[in-house]
Amino acid sequence: MKKQQLAIVTGGASGIGLAIAESFTKNKIRTIIIGRDKKKLQSAKKKLGNYCEPISFDLTNLKEVPNLIKYIIKNFGYIDILVNNAGINQKKEFTEVTDEEFSNIIQTNLQSVFSISREVVKKMILKKNGVIINISSMASQYGIPKVIAYTASKSAIEGMTRAMAVELSPKGIRINCIAPGFIETEMSAKALNNDPERKNKVLGRTPLGYLGEPKDIATTALFLVSDAAKYITGAVLPVDGGNSIGF
Ligand code: NDP
């Protein structure tokens, strides 16, 4: 019988992360979801059931990340899968973005991904086994105005995916990145709902002609962590209705 797998999904209480956590728990992967908002975590736990373990933690608290991973190992055992999904966005004119805002986005979307991956990889290396999925964005496929810090963070995620893959795949760890197109969540609603011009632009260059659902990313994540993807590492996979190649 296959051993029980353990996954961590950051930002797993809402949007894309929740859909990924749902696809994992439905497939009997015990899944730890991490976020700051305890209420959101509790309602996700209620929806996902026994295979879901919520942990409230602010990922920008980098100093505490090693203790978080120690706690998880002690209480739940070996970590097989890490999905670095948590992220924030801000739509603001280039000249209006403060240094604090820029740093906050980099800290959340990039530095925390490095810190948590480093701590998890230290454990994965011991068993020469593990899968990591990073989440980038269309903002790293082409230029999008008014999202400077977000673009910087997500472009770095793609580079980091490749650097991690070449260094860590020989140690038994596969690292891939999903680049979602425009997916219906709270985050995209904030960016698009009061901006019909931007929304039309998005849809106009999406050959499939509609926004994606969180489930579209979840099914891809499930594939990438499965043995069906055992020869895939270092890939950046757009799941975008064709948006990244749209005219
Ligand atoms: P949501 O806003 O629904 O989800 C983001 C999640 O990240 C929340 O659950 C939030 O939980 C968590 N999070 C944010 N900051 C922190 C923090 N400091 N510590 C812990 N958790 C944190 O957005 P989406 O589901 O849309 O986005 C998920 C990922 O997909 C992001 O990385 C985003 O950039 C990416 N993406 C989304 C696209 C879209 O169209 N929706 C397109 C391309 C990429 P809490 O607030 O409780 O901390």
| CA of residue 86 to ligand 1 center, whole Å | 4
Atom of ligand 1 nearest to the CA of 10: 21
85 within ligand 1 shell (Cβ under 6 A): yes
Supply 97's token pair. 């973005």
Fold of 6-182+213-232: Rossmann fold (3.40.50)
Query: Distance between CA atoms of 136 and 145, rounded to whole angstroms?
Result: 17
Supply 236's token pair. 């950046």
Q: Which residue among the candidates 51, 78, 142, 150 is catalytic per the annotation?
A: 150
Mean pLDDT of 215-234: 98
Predicted structure pTM score: 0.98
| CA of residue 1 to ligand 1 center, whole Å | 35
Q: What pLDDT, on the 0 to 100 scale, is given for residue 1?
A: 63
Q: What pLDDT, on the 0 to 100 scale, is given for residue 188?
A: 92
- 1 near 74, Cβ under 8 Å? no
- 102 near 29, Cβ under 8 Å? no
124 within ligand 1 shell (Cβ under 6 A): no
Residues 106-157: tens digit of each pLDDT: 999 999 999 999 999 999 999 999 999 999 999 999 999 999 999 999 999 9
241 within ligand 1 shell (Cβ under 6 A): no
Nearest residue (CA) to ligand 1, atom 15: 87
Q: Does residue 225 sit in helix, strand or coil? A: helix
Q: What pLDDT, on the 0 to 100 scale, is given for residue 102?
A: 98
Query: Distance between CA atoms of 18 and 206, rounded to whole angstroms?
Result: 24
